[in-house]
Amino acid sequence: MAEGRTTTWDAECPLLVPQNRDRTVFDGFITVQEMDFRLRILLPAGRQLRRAKLHCCWRLKQLLRGYQNVVKQVR
């Protein structure tokens, strides 16, 4: 993907910023239940969202518990 090109993900999560040129590492913030949480996303080779690793605080993990299927959805 060309650098500077906007994707659907960029539009939906503008506070998640790519950390490398390959756009396989993102770091930033998301809002859940009117609270901001830091989130780091590591995409595997092939950039498959379903196999991405999410790194976040325990509180966000608790809020996302039970929503794994929703989090793994890819448009």
The percentage of residues in the chain with a pLDDT greater than 90, rounded to a whole number, is 40
Give me the domain span that covers residue 47.
Answer: 8-71
In a domain, 2, yes or no: no
In a domain, 1, yes or no: no
In a domain, 12, yes or no: yes
In a domain, 3, yes or no: no
In a domain, 57, yes or no: yes
Instruction: Please give the model's pTM, rounded to 2 decimal places.
Output: 0.74
In a domain, 38, yes or no: yes
- 2-47, pLDDT tens digit by residue? 455 555 666 777 888 999 998 899 999 988 899 999 999 999 988 8
In a domain, 14, yes or no: yes
**CB-CB contact of 42 with 52 (8 Å):** yes
**CB-CB contact of 31 with 39 (8 Å):** no
The predicted pLDDT at position 13 comes to: 77
How many domains are there within the chain?
A: 1
